[in-house]
Amino acid sequence: MNMNFDDKVEFSFNFEIDEDESVVSRTLTEAEDYKDRNDGPVREAEENILSSDHLQLIRSELLPKAHTEVVSFHVKEKEHISMTKLTIKAEEQLNNEQCSFAGDLKKTDLISGVYEGGFKLWECAVDLVQYLIDEKIEVDNKQVLEVGCGHGLPGIYCLITGRGTKSHFQDYNDEVVKFLTMPNLVLNDKDGRLASCASFFSGDWSLLEEYQDERGDQYDLILTSDTLYSSSSHSKLYKYMKRLLKPDGVIYLAAKTYYFGCGGGVRQFESMVLDKAEMNISTVHKIADGQSNMREILKITHKH
Ligand SMILES: C[S@@+](CC[C@H](N)C(=O)[O-])C[C@H]1O[C@@H](n2cnc3c(N)ncnc32)[C@H](O)[C@@H]1O
């Protein structure tokens, strides 16, 4: 694969599935029945290993049944790379043992404290990959953490395009990591190189902060998309990312300016960060396509 980022990079989608399975689940911007709950039990922090048995299950059972969409990145006129996005319909494809809340996913996209939306692709993940391409963000030899990864497209993009890059993927739900993030990485692992450069974690940010810090995990680049919908989680998200960001590291956060029905949004998160006066935060890009609500890319760094 030849990638030359001096040339204009274009991003396009090829839809190979039904309309209602569209690449970006826009209804998720309005999760009206979302109950913001931050006082109940939360998921334990753990590393999820991509074992050879699980790899076998992915290849023999999950991938053959899954819908896929091709995402093409045009590098120059006739050059492009493609990423693929997998759709797992947990409510139909996973049994109760694999995913206890699968049955509820027909009714809702978020169950606070139980399931935090990782099985669907939210539109800010696409914005974030687009931003990394457009701004030619350096990913070679970087330790990358994708926070709240779901499909993991930004982290996978870094692995595909970066030399010597390592991506760690984190989701609240181990079910999402095992049955979506890992298979999606395998699907995009054209030369068999990506899996050995990836690690996976699940659990609540409040517990992962300590767990990963004790492992010595530190990152040059932290990427996260559509993780600001619940204002009661802003503080733990901030603390988690701040603790694991190297002194010269950069966080790129893609989010909607306001999440209707959920209550969270960029301005609340931004004012919390500004009040703490420990990190720099600024909006580096805005997306107003007229079809969805306003979205932004924030850049966050340590203050020196
Ligand atoms: C709406 S989904 C976005 C998924 C993906 N980034 C995308 O844009 O398609 C929110 C993500 O944040 C994670 N998340 C939300 N609250 C969390 C928490 N308290 N601790 C850990 N992860 C959390 C979820 O697991 C999920 O991956």
List, for residues 171-217, the tens digit of each pLDDT value: 999 999 999 999 999 999 988 999 999 999 999 999 999 999 999 99
For ligand 1, residues with CB inside 6 Å are: 116-118, 121-122, 124-125, 148-151, 171-173, 204-205, 225-227, 233
* Burial class of residue 282 (count of CB atoms within 10 Å of its CB; 0-12, 13-18, 19+): exposed
Convert the pLDDT of each residue in 211-239 to its tens digit. 999 999 999 999 999 999 999 999 999 99
Is residue 63 within 8 Å of residue 183, measured between CB atoms? Answer: yes
> What span, in angstroms and rounded, lies between the C-alpha atoms of 231 and 37?
10
Domains in the chain: how many in total? 1
Using the mean position of ligand 1's atoms as its centre, give its distance from the Cα of residue 109 in Å: 11
Q: How far is the CA of 53 from the centre of ligand 1 (A)?
A: 26
For residue 50, being part of any structural domain is answered with: yes
Nearest atom in ligand 1 to 236's CA: 19
Q: How far apart are CA 260 and CA 29, in angstroms?
A: 7
Residue-number span of the structural domain to which 195 is assigned? 42-65+119-302
Residue 16 lies in a domain: no
Q: The domain spanning residue 190 has which CATH number?
A: 3.40.50.150
CA distance 289 to 304: 36
- Residues with Cβ within 8 Å of residue 57, at least 6 apart in sequence: none
The best mutation among 171, 229, 251, 296 to test binding of ligand 1, ranked by most ligand atoms within 8 Å of the C-beta, falls on 171
pTM higher than 0.75 for the full model? yes
